[in-house]
Amino acid sequence: EAEVAQSPRYKITEKSQAVAFWCDPISGHATLYWYRQILGQGPELLVQFQDESVVDDSQLPKDRFSAERLKGVDSTLKIQPAELGDSAMYLCASSLRNSPLHFGNGTRLTVT
Amino acid sequence: AQSVTQLDSHVSVSEGTPVLLRCNYSSSYSPSLFWYVQHPNKGLQLLLKYTSAATLVKGINGFEAEFKKSETSFHLTKPSAHMSDAAEYFCVVNKWGAQKLVFGQGTRLTINP
């Protein structure tokens, strides 16, 4: 079964540094999502793409976070500068229209 | 606005006994409801979904859930727990047609041998 690919699996960075995560959705899935999951909580949506366009970034801290999906396929989520409170699991998901989401295994970020 | 409340943060059962994970939802519209499972350091896997067809929904790995509109509930059950069921379970609501999921806080299921 096709999977959503994410890299890296783990990332440790110092505060004030820049960090980037990559996601490759399932082929043909036009909708791509980035979620943040703080330890002990449910995932929260950061940004949603439909093809290359952002359709919802209302919960994205835009002063430090950015996301792009230039060709409507893979996507990058960047944090600059990282803060201690950014330590979390960052999950990417993709879907066909009106279909359930398929999640990747996530990137666990630790900011020291 | 849509929301879900998972009534138990942690459930512990013995292997071979029934599992019940409780979820109440709030929605102004006819909701789509899901249960996802997350094993340690893994992404989320869809267990089952309700989209206004049959109220009793069967999912993977022997899990099922019943949509009860009168009680605004969508509890997850399994007749007999297996050690491999130990994981975090999330109840999720989606506004129909909006593709915007709202997750509950999760219930950690522990299986005792």
The CATH number for A5-111, chosen from 3.40.50.720, 3.90.180.10, 2.60.40.10, 2.60.40.1120, is: 2.60.40.10
Q: How would residue A67 be classed by pLDDT, with cut points 50, 70 and 90?
A: very high
A73 min Cα distance to partner chain B (Å): 18
- A73 shares contact with chain B (CB less than 8 Å): no
Note the pLDDT tens digit of each residue in B27-78: 877 788 999 999 987 889 999 999 877 889 999 999 999 999 999 999 999 9
What's the domain count of chain B? 1
A91, A95, A100 member nearest B43 (Cβ):
A91
pLDDT, residue B41, reads 75
CATH number at residue B104: 2.60.40.10
Interface A-B, measured as beta-carbon pairs within 8 A, has a size of 48
- B42, A105 Cβ separation under 8 angstroms: yes
Give CA–CA dist A75/A33, Å, rounded. Answer: 9
- A20 shares contact with chain B (CB less than 8 Å): no
Note the pLDDT tens digit of each residue in A23-48: 999 999 999 999 999 988 899 999 99
In which domain, by residue range, is B57 found? 3-112
- A40 shares contact with chain B (CB less than 8 Å): yes
- A78, A91 Cβ separation under 8 angstroms: no
Q: Mutate which of A103, A107, A110 to test chain B, going by most B C-beta atoms within 10 A?
A: A103
From A85, A3, B76, A22, select the one nearest B67 (Cα to Cα).
B76
Contact A100 B34 (CB under 8 A): yes
Q: What does the domain layout of chain A look like in residue ranges?
A: 5-111
From B9, B12, B8, select the one nearest B110 (Cα to Cα).
B12
